[in-house]
Amino acid sequence: MIARPVYNRREMPRSLAVALCSLVACTTPAPIKSGGPLVIGRGPSATTVPVIDAPRRPPDRVSYFVGGDSRGDVAGVVKWAFAQAKQAGAAGFIFLGDMEWSWGCDDHFHQEALDYLAPVPLLPVIGNHEVQLFGFLKGRVHAGVDPQRVFQKTFLGERGGIGAPASHYPDRVAYAVDLPKGLHLVVLDNATTGTFGDQLDWLDDDLSKHHDAKHKVVAMHKPLAGGCVGGHSMEESGDAGWNDSKRALAIFKKRGVELILASHVHLFAAYQQEGIPTYVSGGLGAHLVDCQCGDCLKFHHMLELDVSDEDIQVSAIRFPGRGGEDGGDDEHNAFPDLRCAGVPVPARVTLRR
């Protein structure tokens, strides 16, 4: 079990809910040429990371790249991953949530997708850092506007402009999309409430209607309860999280789901639940955590799904640079770093550089 601190999950005053990106380190990077090196950092501490020539797949196969948890990405893992996907001519990038420290920098991540990934579609999952300030404080972007709606406006549908469809729900981020090589992707939201709720009825109906899809893949932010990663999963939601996990697995098994994808835990893990391969890929730049079982590894990475009409082959691709393994964040500090927060800095909080 991964030890978690107990936070005061109080409601955040609406009067504080305004953007902070202009006050914090949330700058928009310059685009890089496909195949060129990535320069990470500035001045004497800058490092250069090569963009490895990721092979383009033959006509009978396509690639999808997968990963999540990039808030606090001081090493530039996301830029490297996006550049890899673009160079490989990927059919899509499934991002598993927790883009930035909080919703105040969603626009920054959107711009990174345009600069480094486009025209490869970005297929995002909403994470707890998109829903709550620093991932654990409840609040609204401003009076009357929930972060889920801001996320939808920024990333989904025609207004998002990066390839993801609109959400099935107005107040959660859940959608389904048919992709090349017969891959039917269903994205679920277990970050907004920690559970699925009536999404599971919609999921069952959707998978029933797409029974003839060659591949069915389900993506979410938090891993289902009962897996290798322990308590940093839907187990955080107690009995409701366990019950929804069991019901979801029953639907997955009944409807022939081939892969389960999740992040939330900052490492790589691979295991099975009810015979279905599950991959936890939370290594796109957030500080890494120690493994709690024999089925995980601690390194920054992304996944590649190599898909044909007949099969899906999964590979983990290690980030070639050095990440911020030693940096702390809200999982270790009483009050987290305020980069990309969605509220102004309270006078009593001291920013440490």
- DSSP conformation class of 290: -
What local confidence, expressed as pLDDT, does residue 335 receive?
32
**CA 70 → CA 74, 138, 288, 321, distances in Å?**
9, 20, 11, 15
Convert the pLDDT of each residue in 132-158 to its tens digit: 654 445 554 444 568 888 888 888 987
Residue of 162, 92, 102, 91 lying closest to 126 (CA atoms): 102
With cut-offs at 50, 70 and 90, classify the pLDDT of residue 231.
confident
Residue 345 region, left (φ>0) first, then alpha (ψ -120 to 50), else beta?
beta
Mean pLDDT of the chain: 75
Crossing angle, helix 199-209 and helix 238-255, to 10 degrees? Answer: 10
Domains, the chain, in order of start with CATH, read 62-318 (3.60.21.10)
Q: Letter for the amino acid at 69?
A: D
Convert the pLDDT of each residue in 245-278 to its tens digit: 999 999 999 999 999 999 999 998 888 899 999 9
What local confidence, expressed as pLDDT, does residue 258 receive?
96
What local confidence, expressed as pLDDT, does residue 149 receive?
85
Whole-number CA gyration radius for the chain: 19
State the burial class of residue 157 (Cβ atoms within 10 Å of its Cβ: 0-12, 13-18, 19+): middle
Convert the pLDDT of each residue in 324-347 to its tens digit: 444 433 333 323 334 344 334 333
Residues 226, 197 contacting (CB under 8 angstroms): no
State the burial class of residue 103 (Cβ atoms within 10 Å of its Cβ: 0-12, 13-18, 19+): buried
With cut-offs at 50, 70 and 90, classify the pLDDT of residue 3.
very low
